Structure 1
Amino acid sequence: MADKYEVRRRNPNPNSVALLVIDKQNYFTSIAKPIIPPLNASIDLCRSRGIPIFFTRHRHLSQEDHAMLGEWWSGDLILEGTHGAELLPSLHRRDADPVVEKTTYSAFKGTNLEEVLKEKGVEEVIVTGVMTNLCCETTAREAFIRGFRVFFSTDATATANDELQAASLMNMAYGFAYLISVERLQAALV
């Protein structure tokens, strides 16, 4: 469905790109499980090319630390110190990989992600993870607005259902990001 809007194609530059792995946490296990193989393949591929990899972790320190999310999700928050807040153990994450702690949909708001990316000479980001239409899409939009070239994974992102996934991919292709699968990523980074 996103093919209709994917009128721009480009490959990431391995010398200026970073991989963002958004919120692959126990809280999202049922959504995240089907995309673990393409996500781990993306992580391994980027790691083999020396591409920086950043993981994000969404969590709240208390039920009151929520801004609008607590209202929107009726208090169903991911609390620090709970099993749901931990990153999935099946991820190909290494201890040295940075983890960006966040409390809202964006990996940029209230974090130092932008500064760290710029310090590393990163000009492009590949967005992977969950949930496609919330944290992944918000992070991709903010990256675009902040001047980063954005690549958005079609097979290493997931959300609650196919309809929301398709809508996000169409939005990304139409106005914010180059779509990329793990297969296309592999071909681009050969």
Structure 2
Amino acid sequence: MNKALLVVDVQESFRQRPLWRVISNPGIVEQVNQLVALARAEGDLVVWVLHSEPGTGNVFDPVNGHVRLQDGLAPADGEPLLTKTAHNAFTTTNLHQTLTQRGIRELSVSGIRTEQCCETTTRVASDLGYDVTFVTDATATNPIAHRDAPADQTIEELLADPRTLHSEDIIARTEYALAGRFATVRTVAELTGTQG
């Protein structure tokens, strides 16, 4: 085993936010489970990562009970479940040590949000010398408001604002930024051999 699948932040916290209703991939659990099944079948390590913001009172504060995997996801015995407090999965966890101790040099990245925790984890992993595969359709994100947009705008206002960066544009930008520089970009079907 020299490969690992990282499942980053596919947690209930995101489902509790109003933006979940415009998430790019509401069925992400299905794609992640396909990757998990493949990794387990090939004897690869699956590493589960959750994002936590203690003391904030928001949906990422563990006291509210949402810092847990979404329904339908479950670590098997021996699969690490790490909790991070930074955007990437390395800085505030022992992920690098865990992978190094097991001789892992190849990573596949999936999770929420495409351009934030998943992309940041991919960039750091690449800088640390890992060979990274970014599984785009096993990630999810939501539209991002322009920096000058009002903080209290509704989802309808967000979607109507011509300055909003929409999910499909975020995903495309992430693929362009990562491919050939920090990662190989693949789909679940390409990895599982289920493409038509």
- With the shorter chain as reference, the TM-score category is 0.7 to 0.9
Matched residues, number: 163
SS of residue in 1 equivalent to 2:79: coil
Deviations 1:21-64 (A, max 9, x none): 0001011233363222111111111111110000101002212x
| Letter in structure 2 aligned against 1:125 | L
Q: Is the Cα contact below 8 Å between 1:44 and 1:92 reproduced in 2? A: no
TM-score by length of 2: 0.77
The counterpart of 2:186, out of the listed 156, 180, 183, is 180
TM-score by length of 1: 0.79
What are the equivalent positions in structure 2 for 1:51-70 lying under 5 Å apart? 51-63=44-56
Question: 1:17 Cα shift?
Answer: 1.1
- Cα distance in 2, alignment partners of residues 81 and 33 from structure 1: 25
**1:26 correspondence with 2:8:** no
For 1:146, the equivalent position in structure 2 comes to: 128
- Cα distance in 1, alignment partners of residues 141 and 65 from structure 2: 20
Quote the RMSD (CA, aligned, Å). 1.9
What are the equivalent positions in structure 2 for 1:124-139 lying under 5 Å apart? 124-139=106-121
- Cα distance in 2, alignment partners of residues 99 and 146 from structure 1: 21
What are the equivalent positions in structure 2 for 1:88-127 lying under 5 Å apart? 88-127=70-109
Greater C-alpha Rg: 2
- Cα distance in 2, alignment partners of residues 19 and 109 from structure 1: 18
- Cα distance in 2, alignment partners of residues 112 and 180 from structure 1: 26
SS of residue in 2 equivalent to 1:47: helix
SS of residue in 1 equivalent to 2:4: strand
Question: 1:176 Cα shift?
Answer: 0.7
- Cα distance in 1, alignment partners of residues 107 and 116 from structure 2: 17
Question: 1:81 Cα shift?
Answer: 2.6
Q: Is the Cα contact below 8 Å between 1:21 and 1:127 reproduced in 2? A: yes
Q: Flag the structure with higher helix content.
A: 1
Structure 2 gap segments, 5+ residues each: 143-166
| Letter in structure 2 aligned against 1:177 | A
For 2:176, the equivalent position in structure 1 comes to: 170
SS of residue in 1 equivalent to 2:55: coil
- 1:34–1:56: structure 2 CA closer, same or farther, 3 Å change rule? same
Q: Which has the higher contact order (CA 8 A, sep 6+)?
A: 1
Deviations 1:48-88 (A, max 9, x none): 1110000101002212xxxxxxxxxxx85610132321111
